[in-house]
């Protein structure tokens, strides 16, 4: 968008990881401190006793941060605000404080409030835990109500912020439905694109390993991938290489133990360069993408751009990107034997993997290219800015 002549300035907290997808080399970036101004709560007994006070404190800090950013934005002559998701709360709250036209690109609501993530947060404790027969049971009951209080405040604040935007953009039809269920608000699907200049094939021979990409956590279905590969006959069983970030060493230890127990060669890689990531995508026989409903999933299309097909479950946004038998395969549910059979189509026959990889590359070039994704966002931003300017001009004329 900068190359198209737009002047863009980024506002963000100083707590972000500046090394992850940095913007400072592309556009001006302004960091605002995300620091608590009143330290009394840090030393309170209540905070040490109730962990959910940390959530509410973090929310308070984020709201203050948004107010500070909004004060600058409102006095700087910008045409439109594009808000992105918050890594803490998913929803960005800055829409409540800015006065210019505002749009948020939101992949999903704060999932722990609305679904099992990994378990349902609103569930009451077991009955035996609710009998006030011991001090421990009383503590459990108090913690439960403290959690309910904190989650209720988060839900309230998220809905307030969602309602503050002139427009909500989402990355898939699935995400649109998720937001409708959570907020009962309209949103527009604005598909993104893949940088096929960066993610591209190098015409190597496919190697006998399966690739997976995503953070090391329960949501990405890494254990699903391990179990699926484990049912492939041992003499043909490929290695699973998983590339991720947010490296949770305890979780990686669990995965290593699981893989060892089912006799799967598992390699975890994290903090690698973009060049290494592309190389692994290029050489893989196939990608497995088995997360619990992913809102969209750029990773499968990045693999496709590197001429690698994808195997996944018909969940979330993957249903909108994988054309069955063309750029990969979709199975109806988690069936390790069915997924293993699809994997073997590629690992047993490198020529088949290469042929489908070529079709996958063509598919991304035609339907998910980078320029079309930029155009989609640009159109919404420009249209909103023009529409709001017309309204402001009419109001000014009406009231002199």
pLDDT at 88: 78
- Rounded to an integer, the average pLDDT of 215-230 is 94
CATH of the domain at 223: 3.40.50.2000
**Residue 77 in domain:** yes
Share of the chain above pLDDT 70, in %: 90
Average pLDDT, the chain: 88
Residue whose structure tokens are 């155009």: 375
My answer on whether 254 and 188 are in the same domain is no
C-alpha to C-alpha distance for 228 and 218, rounded to whole angstroms = 16
Q: Which residues contact 79 (CB under 8 A, 6 or more apart)?
A: 100, 101, 385, 389
**Rounded to whole angstroms, how far apart are CA atoms 47 and 88?**
19
pLDDT score for 139: 77
Position 3 in a domain = no
Q: How far apart are CA 104 and CA 8, in angstroms?
A: 15
Residue 78 maps to a domain: yes
Whether residue 115 is found in the same domain as residue 72 = yes
pTM of the model: 0.87
**Based on the domain organization, do 302 and 254 belong to the same domain?**
yes
* One domain for residues 125 and 216: no
User: Which CATH number does the domain housing residue 81 bear?
Assistant: 3.40.50
For residues 243 and 186, state if they share a domain: no
| Burial bucket for residue 127 (CB in 10 Å: 0-12, 13-18, 19+) | exposed
The answer for residues whose C-beta is within 8 angstroms of residue 81's C-beta and 6 or more apart is 73, 94, 95, 98, 100, 101, 102, 103
Q: By three-state DSSP, how is residue 105 classified?
A: strand
Q: Which residues of 185-210 are buried (b: 16+ CB within 10 A; e: fewer)?
A: eebeebbbbbebeebbbeeeebbbbb
- Dump pLDDT digits (tens) for 145-187: 888 888 899 999 999 999 999 999 999 999 999 999 999 999 9
Six-digit token pair at 375?
A: 């155009």
The answer to whether residues 173 and 253 belong to one domain is: no
φ/ψ region of 365 (left if φ > 0, alpha if ψ in -120 to 50, else beta) reads alpha
Q: Which pLDDT band, with edges at 50, 70 and 90, does 392 fall under?
A: low
- Minimum mean pLDDT range among 94-108, 198-212, 378-392: 378-392
- Range from 35-44, 237-246, 255-264, 277-286 carrying the lowest mean pLDDT: 35-44
Within-domain flag for 2: no
Instruction: Say yes or no to pLDDT of 203 above 80.
Output: no
Beta bridge partners of 210: 240, 286
Instruction: Express each pLDDT in 46-62 by its tens digit.
Output: 443 345 677 888 888 89
Residues 71 and 185 grouped into a single domain: yes
Residue 280 pLDDT > 90, yes or no?
yes
Pair of tokens at residue 137? 């049971």
Count other Cβ atoms within 10 Å, centred on residue 284: 29
Whether residues 384 and 265 share a domain: the answer is no
The pLDDT assigned to 47 comes to 43
- pLDDT for residue 110 is more than 60: yes
Q: Is residue 171 part of a domain?
A: yes
Q: What is the DSSP letter of 269?
A: E
Number of structural domains found in the chain: 2
Q: Which residue range is the domain that position 308 belongs to?
A: 207-368
């Amino acid at each position: 968008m900068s190359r198209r002549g737009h002047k863009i300035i980024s506002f963000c907290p100083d707590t972000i990881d500046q090394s992850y997808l940095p913007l400072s080399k592309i556009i001006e970036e302004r960091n605002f401190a995300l620091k608590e101004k009143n330290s009394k709560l840090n030393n309170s007994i209540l905070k040490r006793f109730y962990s959910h006070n940390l959530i509410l404190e973090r929310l308070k800090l984020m709201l203050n941060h948004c107010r500070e950013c909004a004060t600058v934005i409102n006095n700087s002559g910008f045409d439109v605000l594009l808000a992105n998701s918050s890594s803490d709360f998913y929803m960005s709250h800055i829409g409540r404080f800015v006065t210019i036209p505002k749009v948020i690109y939101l992949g999903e609501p704060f999932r722990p409030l609305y679904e099992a993530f990994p378990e349902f947060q609103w569930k009451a404790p077991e009955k035996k835990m609710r009998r006030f027969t011991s001090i421990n049971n009383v503590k459990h009951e108090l913690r439960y109500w403290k959690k309910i209080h904190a989650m209720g405040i988060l839900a309230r604040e998220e809905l307030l912020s969602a309602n503050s935007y002139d427009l909500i953009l989402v990355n898939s039809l699935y995400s649109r439905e998720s937001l409708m269920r959570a907020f009962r608000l309209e949103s527009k699907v604005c598909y993104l694109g893949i940088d096929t200049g960066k993610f591209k094939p190098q015409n190597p021979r496919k190697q006998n390993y399966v690739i997976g990409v995503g953070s090391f956590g329960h949501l990405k279905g890494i254990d699903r991938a391990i179990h699926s590969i484990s049912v492939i006959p041992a003499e043909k069983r490929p290695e699973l290489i998983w590339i991720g970030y947010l490296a949770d060493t305890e979780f990686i230890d669990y995965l290593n133990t699981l893989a060892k127990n089912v006799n799967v060669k598992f390699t975890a890689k994290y903090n690698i360069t973009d060049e290494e990531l592309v190389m692994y995508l290029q050489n893989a026989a196939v990608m497995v993408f088995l997360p619990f409903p992913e809102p969209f999933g750029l990773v499968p299309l990045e693999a496709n751009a590197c001429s690698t097909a994808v195997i996944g479950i018909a969940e979330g946004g993957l249903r909108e990107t994988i054309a069955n038998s063309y750029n990969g395969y979709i199975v109806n549910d988690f069936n390790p034997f069915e997924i293993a059979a699809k994997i073997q189509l590629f690992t047993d026959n490198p020529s088949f993997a290469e042929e489908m990889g070529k079709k996958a590359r063509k598919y991304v070039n035609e339907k998910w290219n980078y320029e079309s994704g930029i155009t989609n966002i640009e159109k919404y931003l420009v249209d909103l800015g023009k529409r709001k300017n017309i309204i402001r001009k009419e109001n000014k004329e009406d009231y002199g």
